[in-house]
A and B are shown apart, each in its own frame.
Chain A
Amino acid sequence: MISQSLTRRAFLRAATENAQNSLLILSVPSLLLAGKQAQAAMATAQPFSTLGVEEAATLEAIASRIIPSDETPGAAEAGVIYFMDNILGGSRAEVLPEVRKGLAELYSASLGRFGTGTFYILSPEQQDSLLRDIERTPFFNTLRYLTIAGMFTMPSYGGNKNRIGWQLIGFEDRHVWQPPYGYYDADYMEKGA
């Protein structure tokens, strides 16, 4: 049973882990039911405004293969899904139908290959094999674009939580810099041309 104190994100992760650890893969309807319960329970915990819980879970899983979480945090920790939710309901609303169509196709492909359409419960290797097949499609390019944008946007758009994206690449958003800026100009200051 899902605790009332779990946030939506914790729910999604719990649902995924439970499913992966389970001998019986959870059926989609039960996940949806769990999702609805969580949605009702977590109305105050940053609800998605545009995406359904299932869609969000799948999109987050895809984003996590584009920028994985390994030794350093990835798209999941940066909250890229919240950027997607924000943008797909706002300035990129026109992209949402294409995204939904792509998700439906991914569901079918997953069902055909792995016996379940629920992408986010697959292993990373299984997920990658499905994504490799579509990596040149407009759908994948759109998700790559949104994942990267959400990773490196100003946090006010919902992504790049705690500036995780910027920390990953070593970008400091400062308004004033003084030389030396890098190794080579420091060396130049010392030794000249």
Chain B
Amino acid sequence: MAQASFPTREEVDFVVVGSGSAGGIVARELSMAGFSTVVLEQGPYLQPGDFTHDEWAVTQDEQLAWGPRKGHPQTFRRYEHEKAEISNRAVLGYAHNVGGSSAHFSGNFWRLRPVDFMERSLLGEIPGTNFTDWPITYEELEPYYTKVEWEIGMSGLAGPWDPPRSRDYPLPPLPVKSSGVLLERAAKKLGWTAYPEPHAILSKPFNGRPGCVNCGFCLGFGCEVGAKSSTAVAMMPQALASGNCELRTGCTVSRVDTDDNGRVTEVVYWEEDGTVQAQKAKAVVLCANGAETARLLFLSESSRHPDGLANASGMVGRNLMFNGSSSVAGLFEHPVNAYKSVPTTRVIHDFYSIDPSNGFYGGGGIDARHLSRGLPMSAALGTGRFSGARWGSQFKKDIAREFTHACSFNGHTTSLPLSSNNVTLDPDVKDKWGRPALRTTFMNHPDDFKTMKFFLDRSVELMEAAGATQISANYEMEGQTGGVHLLGTCRMGNDPATSVVNKYNRAHDVPNLFMVDGSSLVTSGRGQPTMTIMALAFRAADHMIQAAQRGDI
């Protein structure tokens, strides 16, 4: 069936803003259930054949991930009393295309575990933070994790390291790399367990898509064969084939309008050439990501919603979490060739929750990766970590050695939710559409630092056990200055006074408005949030469909 086409002045059932990890799923679920759905996406609909290995274009010229070079400046500051400065890069990074960041991620898919949903109850209050339990449990989300695995397409190995699961992975794990072997053998020496990284990348053909060819250009790049399970290849084709979904690309939403009853009525947007359009809808689903969804709510302020739409709690934009990280690079005697194949093939979760007797809150995982994404230019730009040489003959020797003989063990860790870490509208800087730029305020909680350091230390132990000849370790001890996991800014909760959406992702304050993306997360998880974003999207869509069918939208 051909893609649907709806007049803007006639009310459709749903407008979905954003076609990424959440939006692609929500659009597919709603349209396949028979609801008329319009998807508004800022970027283009790139096909596998449009993607390249062009490192300059992708990593330096913002080909997929827009930033200041494309007319989208962002500002950053540490604390709320400071004036934010314009950054020379995207502080909050994400891809602008159908599939959103699922088009350029590397598909490391970790389920949350039962503990993630109830840590506040287990551990008690953490003063000065908004640390709290989720309004749902792991058991409620589990069927949707399984749905992600089978509907999106995942590769992995079920085992004792998993949280409870109702079904095996559809595909076996991707082949182990040298970096994974080094991690696995080191873990064994230390009494820990490295297991195959679960991927939203197909190890074999599945659902009409081909298996991975191990080209190595995953992180930041689009998949040239369509083996990476972005919603652009796994969901949107099915949504469009339903005959109920219209995808409008190159459309940037400026605001969501509400009526006197406080209900959402239409979504106003610019087409690529600047033409203003407005699409009427019975309900609106914002899936614009943890930065842009909050920004859009602020931009949709009105006399009825003076602090931004759906922001009676004052929580919109707050509790921004990135996940912490640590990185330990090691140089080895023999070729590792970490640039080939997917970034990571082994992961350790022995420290999923750090023992509270250490005196701080935190947890995470460690995986084995390439340095600088395994990209020639990026790797050379980062060279100097072992010998200190940044140019000259020694530098040249180092580049040649490191590219093939090094890998890193990376920690991926918790972030605590704080009111003072947030996304707001910059009062001075505007983007190319004249909208206030995204302003990020962020300083890690002391426990975030302790957690990153803890994982750095474990990774150094692993690197030593792996037999690295040289080791270089670092984490952001001055505090993170940006991120690509954009979490927590419209948190889910039962209490309208302290959360933005309810347990079904419906706005507490606006009955026909939903927010579904990283903004819903109550806590940060341990570092790979996209699978949870997708599971929440399947779950929210189920409830939207049920609500719409009983006339409750």
Interface residues of A (CB under 8 A from B): 65-68, 70, 72, 74, 91, 128, 131, 135, 144-145, 148-149, 151-154, 157, 165-166, 168-171, 173-188, 193
Contacts and interface: CB of A to CB of B under 8 A. Distances in A.
B215 A174 contact: yes
B390 A144 contact: yes
A174 B185 CA distance: 29
Given A168-B399, A170-B400, A179 B376 contact: no
Interface stretch (B174-182, B449-457, B515-523): B174-182
Given A66-B395, A68-B393, A178-B214, A171 B403 contact: yes
Contact of B181 (A65, A165, A187): A187
B391 interface: yes
B473 interface: no
B60 interface: yes
B9 interface: no
B395 A145 contact: no
Given A91-B61, A149-B56, A182-B177, A171 B215 contact: no
B56 A175 contact: no
A169 B400 contact: yes
B394 to A, nearest CB: 10
B78 interface: no
Contacts of B180: 185
A65 B396 CA distance: 10
Given A177-B213, A183-B178, A185-B181, A170 B403 contact: yes
B381 interface: yes
Nearest to B466: A184
B409 to A, nearest CB: 14
A171 B391 contact: no
A65 B337 CA distance: 28
Interface in B53-81: 53-56, 60-61, 69
B338 interface: yes
B550 interface: no
Contacts of B381: 145, 148-149
B381 to A, nearest CB: 5
B144 to A, nearest CB: 33
B377 A70 contact: no
The 7 closest A-B pairs by CB, nearest first: A182-B178, A183-B334, A184-B178, A169-B403, A152-B376, A182-B337, A152-B377
Nearest to A147: B391
Given A66-B391, A149-B60, A169-B399, A182 B53 contact: no
Interface string B373-386: 00011011100000
Given A135-B391, A168-B400, A184 B182 contact: yes
Contacts of A131: 391
Please classify how large the interface on chain B is, using the bins under 10, 10 to 19, 20 to 34, 35 or more: 35 or more
Given A165-B376, A169-B376, A182 B392 contact: no
Interface in B223-274: 224
A66 B392 contact: yes
A178 B380 CA distance: 25
Given A74-B396, A152-B55, A168-B399, A193 B376 contact: no
A184 B333 CA distance: 10
Contacts of B340: 177, 181-182
B339 interface: yes
14 contacts: A66-B391, A131-B391, A148-B377, A148-B380, A152-B376, A154-B54, A169-B399, A175-B213, A176-B213, A179-B175, A182-B334, A182-B404, A188-B181, A193-B188
A177 B336 contact: no
Contacts of A179: 175-177, 214, 341
B184 interface: yes
B216 interface: yes
Give the most central of A165, A181, A187, A193: most B CB within 10 Å.
A181
B163 interface: no
A70 B392 CA distance: 10
Contacts of A70: 393, 396
A135 B392 CA distance: 11
A176 B214 contact: yes
A177 B214 contact: yes
A82 to B, nearest CB: 14
Nearest to B403: A169
Given A91-B61, A149-B377, A175-B224, A144 B178 contact: no
Nearest to B378: A152
Interface string B325-344: 00000001011111111000
Given A70-B396, A183-B336, A173 B178 contact: no
A188 B214 contact: no
A180 to B, nearest CB: 8
B336 A171 contact: no
Contacts of A149: 56, 60, 377, 381
Contact of B337 (A154, A178, A181): A181
B242 to A, nearest CB: 33
Contacts of B181: 184-185, 187-188
A1 to B, nearest CB: 36
B56 A154 contact: yes
Nearest to A94: B69
Interface string B174-208: 01111111101100100000000000000000000
Nearest to A180: B178
A47 to B, nearest CB: 22
A154 B336 CA distance: 23
Nearest to A148: B380
A66 B396 CA distance: 8
A178 B390 CA distance: 34
A91 B54 CA distance: 15
Contact of A181 (B224, B341, B399): B341
Given A149-B377, A154-B56, A183-B178, A171 B339 contact: yes
B178 A181 contact: yes
Nearest to A157: B56
Contacts of A176: 213-215
Given A152-B376, A182-B177, A177 B341 contact: yes
Given A169-B380, A175-B213, A177-B216, A184 B403 contact: no
A159 to B, nearest CB: 9
A171 B376 contact: yes
Interface string B30-71: 000000000000000000000001111000110000000100
A175 B380 CA distance: 21
A177 B56 CA distance: 22
A154 B53 contact: yes
Given A152-B55, A175-B215, A181-B340, A166 B335 contact: no
Contacts of B391: 65-67, 131, 135, 144
